[in-house]
Structure 1
Amino acid sequence: MTERIVVVGAALLDGGRLLAARRSAPPELAGRWELPGGKVEAGETPEAALVRELREELGIETEPVERIPGEWPLKPPYVLQVWTARIHSGSGDPKPLQDHDELRWLAPGEIWDVPWLDQDVPAVREAATRLDTGPR
Structure 2
Amino acid sequence: MTDTTETATELTDLASRFPLLHAPQRWTWGGYDAQFSSALPPDELITNIHVVGFSDDRVVLCRDARGHWFLPGGTREAGESVESCLARELREEAGARLTGPPVWIGAHRCVTDNPVPYRPWQPHPEKAWLWGWAEVDVDSAPTNPADGEEVVEVRAVDPEEAGRLLVRAREGWWRELVELAVESHSRP
Instruction: Provide TM-score, normalisation by structure 1.
Output: 0.69
Structure number, greater radius of gyration:
2
Give runs of aligned pairs for residues 32-47 of structure 1, distance below 5 A: 32-47=68-83
Secondary structure class of the residue paired with 1:112:
helix
Q: Please name the residue that 2:108 is paired with.
A: 71
Contact conserved, 1:57 with 1:96, CA < 8 A, in 2?
yes
Secondary structure class of the residue paired with 1:61:
strand
Give, in whole Å, the separation in 2 of the partners of 1:97 and 1:135: 33
Instruction: Provide TM-score, normalisation by structure 2.
Output: 0.53
Q: Please name the residue that 2:54 is paired with.
A: 13
Secondary structure class of the residue paired with 2:78:
coil
Q: Please name the residue that 1:57 is paired with.
A: 93
Give, in whole Å, the separation in 1 of the partners of 2:141 and 2:175: 20
Structure 1: runs of 5 or more not aligned? 25-29
Equivalent residues, number? 125
Show CA shifts across 1:24-43 (max 9, x none): 2xxxxx21111111110111
Q: Among 85, 95, 112, which residue is 2:141 paired with?
A: 95
Give, in whole Å, the separation in 1 of the partners of 2:54 and 2:170: 21
Which stretch shows the higher mean deviation, 121-130 or 13-22? 121-130
Shift of residue 50, structure 1, vs aligned partner? 0.5
Structure 2: runs of 5 or more not aligned? 1-43, 119-127, 145-149
Give, in whole Å, the separation in 1 of the partners of 2:162 and 2:181: 12
Give, in whole Å, the separation in 2 of the partners of 1:31 and 1:74: 28
Distance 1:68 1:93, change over 3 A: same
Distance 1:69 1:123, change over 3 A: farther
RMSD: 3.1
Q: Sequence identity, in percent? A: 27
Paired residue type of 1:95: A
Show CA shifts across 1:87-120 (max 9, x none): 2xxx55353432211122121331233154537x
Q: Which stretches of structure 1, 4 residues or longer, exceed 4 Å deviation after superposition?
A: 72-79
Secondary structure class of the residue paired with 1:129:
helix
Secondary structure class of the residue paired with 2:96:
coil
Secondary structure class of the residue paired with 2:153:
strand
Distance 1:61 1:112, change over 3 A: closer
Give, in whole Å, the separation in 1 of the partners of 2:91 and 2:58: 20
Paired residue type of 2:173: P
The answer to which structure, 1 or 2, has the higher relative contact order (CA under 8 A, 6+ apart) is: 1
